[in-house]
Amino acid sequence: MAKIKPSKGAPYARILGVGGYRPTRVVPNEVILETIDSSDEWIRSRSGIETRHWASDEETVTAMSLEASGKALADAGISAEQIGGVIVSTVSHFKQTPAVATEIADRLGTDKAAAFDISAGCAGFGYGLTLAKGMIVEGSAEYVLVIGVERLSDLTDLEDRATAFLFGDGAGAVVVGPSQEPAIGPTVWGSEGDKSDTIKQTVPWTDYRDGTVDKFPAITQEGQAVFRWAVFEMAKVAQQALDAAGIASDDLDVFIPHQANVRIIDSMVKTLKLPEHVTVARDIRTTGNTSAASIPLAMERLLATGEAKSGDTALVIGFGAGLVYAATVVTLP
């Protein structure tokens, strides 16, 4: 029996650079209030959101991804030709095939990098990061680009009082590469498909195509059910990720949760008993919920403003439609 030659990858992987792109149009709550019966105070108290960014026709999923990726490559000091894999997490690229990752890989100038899309909602960045880590350690790529990108304004029902104010657009990207020491911890991830109806697309695309419904599909959710699940279950997952990495909450420098709701973030901080010295990302206030893009966008902003610094130890956790989740501890680039 022939023996397969073992893979020769790096001993570990790490995030080497991060980049983000927010569309130029800033949308305040007042614009949302034109189509729903609510108030600025209610939106801020329920979600923490003050403004969000909405993409123009030119700010496509591809265009935003290219902008974020270019910044991440520059931050990492890596050329596009060195990228061996491009992973894009998105639920708002409306071509079923081909994967938008292939177009991004080509337009960036990679040397025929492996490229594919994943659909893991708001946990998509964590899923992509885990896959990239595996590719590098396994040896199938030396550097991998992980992109979270969304144009959720295309999937927002502006007359739905429960969701009209939540979503924003944007792209975040990281370059993952080899490391001689652990810098991306074990991932605690999973799914609870029995709760999949709590966050979903209103109807299948085929219903709209066939004229069964007149309204374009949108994202809807059962807000209270999602809130309870995120507050009570995701704090447990976050703690499991800390334990898996051998990190105590006192050892953390930064906490970067998915930017779904400020009240969820604050509740997780309290449940995890994070010390006051831990910097907590609350990028949602001015960016809204950008699903797969929210964690890398928040990471980039914290590093750009100096609220976090290179080498800090950060806990990241994403959670959302599916219901799916992914949490890990990383060293910031």
pLDDT tens-digit series, residues 307-330:
999 999 999 999 999 999 999 999
Instruction: Taking residues 124-141, report their average pLDDT.
Output: 98
pTM of the model: 0.96
| Those residues with Cβ within 8 angstroms of residue 104's Cβ, 6 or more apart along the chain or in another chain | 62, 65, 66, 69, 86, 88, 115, 147
Report percent pLDDT > 90 for the chain: 94
The 10s digit of each residue's pLDDT in 63-122 is: 999 999 999 999 999 999 999 999 999 999 999 899 999 999 999 999 999 999 999 999
**In the structure, what pLDDT confidence band is assigned to residue 5 with cuts at 50, 70 and 90?**
confident
Instruction: Indicate if the pLDDT at residue 14 is higher than 90.
Output: yes
| Tally: H helices and E strands in the chain | 10, 14
Instruction: Indicate if the pLDDT at residue 7 is higher than 90.
Output: no
Instruction: Indicate if the pLDDT at residue 142 is higher than 90.
Output: yes
* Token pair in block for residue 43: 């939106």
Instruction: Indicate if the pLDDT at residue 240 is higher than 90.
Output: yes
What is the set of active-site residues?
A: 122, 258, 289
Instruction: Indicate if the pLDDT at residue 1 is higher than 90.
Output: no
Type of residue at 73: L
Report how far apart the first and last C-alpha atoms of the chain are (Å, whole number).
44
Instruction: Output the CA angle 82-180-12, nearest 5 degrees.
Output: 70
**In the structure, what pLDDT confidence band is assigned to residue 40 with cuts at 50, 70 and 90?**
very high
> Residues of 179-214 as b/e, b for ≥16 C-beta within 10 angstroms?
beebbbbbbbbeeeeebeebbeebeeeeeeeeeeee
Instruction: Indicate if the pLDDT at residue 165 is higher than 90.
Output: yes
Supply the pLDDT for residue 19: 98
| Those residues with Cβ within 8 angstroms of residue 86's Cβ, 6 or more apart along the chain or in another chain | 101, 102, 104, 105, 108, 110, 113, 114, 115, 116, 144, 145, 147
* Token pair in block for residue 208: 């709209």
Cα–Cα nearest to 322, from 203, 192, 210: 192
247 close to 185: Cβ distance less than 8 angstroms: yes
Least confident range from 106-110, 162-166, 222-226: namely: 222-226
Distances (CA, A) of 278 to 97, 174, 199, 250: 42, 22, 30, 8
User: Residue 144 pairs with which residues in a beta bridge?
Assistant: 85, 176
What is the residue-wise DSSP string for 108-123?
A: HT-SS-EEEEE--GGG
| Those residues with Cβ within 8 angstroms of residue 99's Cβ, 6 or more apart along the chain or in another chain | 88, 115, 116, 117
**In the structure, what pLDDT confidence band is assigned to residue 223 with cuts at 50, 70 and 90?**
confident
